[in-house]
Structure 1
Amino acid sequence: MKNDRHAKILELIEQYPIDRQEDLLEHLNDAGFSVTQATVSRDIRQLHLVKAAVGGGKYRYVSSASAKGARHSQGRFETIFRESVLKADWAGCTVMVRCYPGMASAACELFDSMQWDCDVIGTLSGDDTFLALMRTPEAAQAICAELQQYITRH
């Protein structure tokens, strides 16, 4: 039952721009799943769903790479990254990516899901900033330059 519900949730968030747990609960009930708010909240955590900006000041739930076992498409990365990130800079082996408040986790998850030609050691996300630790300063400079193409000037 839980696996069926999780599959339905992933299907629903792909099909509809769901941005609130209450909306997801309603869609699940319409699909024949009798669940509570607490169950939906737990499912969101277990599926590692994150809210991502989709433009026009709107957000929606998206599944993380670890939830689906697949990488995000380049187009999806570009769209969400452009709507979430304000700027990127580097110093030494560290890349700093500044985001809109509350968006760093989603942007960092997308960054982690992409295949980069540089040596990314790991990332750390906060509310409005995430950091990427690179193996060399040259790798930090290269990834920062690559990220610049996805950043919309605000």
Structure 2
Amino acid sequence: MSKHERHNAIRELIAQRPIASQDELRRKLVRRGFDVTQATLSRDIHELRIYKGPGGYALPNGNGHDEQDDLPDVDEVMSSFGLKVKQAQNQLVLVTTAGSAQPVALAIDHEDWPEVVGTLAGDDTVLIICPDQKRATVLAERLEKIIG
């Protein structure tokens, strides 16, 4: 089956009911006849801009199109999932709720802030690399205000 058909199946599965993990989604796809690896599924999730929220995987604005406007707003993501920010020179460690680091990092990356060189997300932690300590401080203050 084609990538397009697989993407449509992923959208349909996520729209039907909450899916808590990639493995659960992969198993559902296999039952539908898609031979999909975890690596392929990870790429699909990224391409479809699917994010993981408290209720499991979700489509941006419920439709899964690739439009930039469909991404959750960084304020929304940070206020929902951000817990605290710690600075270490030109780097920030952003602690999030469990399983939320990747959508938070994605939202930050898509802001194209000059203070951000790049992000690296784990499960509940985002490493944000800034060009220098001064801009890291500016960004830390901005993120702390959003978190509240």
Q: TM-score, normalised to structure 2's length?
A: 0.67
Deviation, 1:40, is 7.7
- What is the CA RMSD across the aligned residues, in angstroms? 3.5
Q: Secondary structure at the match of 1:120?
A: coil
Partners of 2:52 and 2:99 within 8 A in 1: no
> Residue type of the partner of 1:25?
K
Partner Cα distance (1:14, 1:60) in 2: 7
Q: Which residue of 2 aligns with 1:19?
A: 19
Q: Which residue of 1 aligns with 2:112?
A: 115
Structure 1 residues 23 and 53, CA, compared in 2 at 3 Å: closer, same or farther? Answer: same
Partners of 1:52 and 1:80 within 8 A in 2: no
Partner Cα distance (1:43, 1:8) in 2: 15
> Residue type of the partner of 1:80?
V
Q: Secondary structure at the match of 2:99?
A: coil
Q: Which residue of 2 aligns with 1:81?
A: 78
Structure 1 residues 95 and 134, CA, compared in 2 at 3 Å: closer, same or farther? Answer: same
Q: Which residue of 2 aligns with 1:151?
A: 147
Using the aligned pairs only, state the percent identity. 14
Partner Cα distance (1:51, 1:75) in 2: 9
Render the CA deviation track for 1:41-97: whole Å, top value 9, x for unaligned: 56522213455225xxx222347xxx9655355754333332221011323211110
Query: 4+ residue runs of structure 1 moved beyond 6 angstroms?
Result: none
Partner Cα distance (2:118, 2:128) in 1: 6
Structure 1 residues 85 and 44, CA, compared in 2 at 3 Å: closer, same or farther? Answer: same
User: 2:121 aligned with 1:125, yes or no?
Assistant: yes
Structure with the higher fraction of residues in strand conformation: 1
Q: TM-score, normalised to structure 1's length?
A: 0.65
Partner Cα distance (2:121, 2:37) in 1: 24
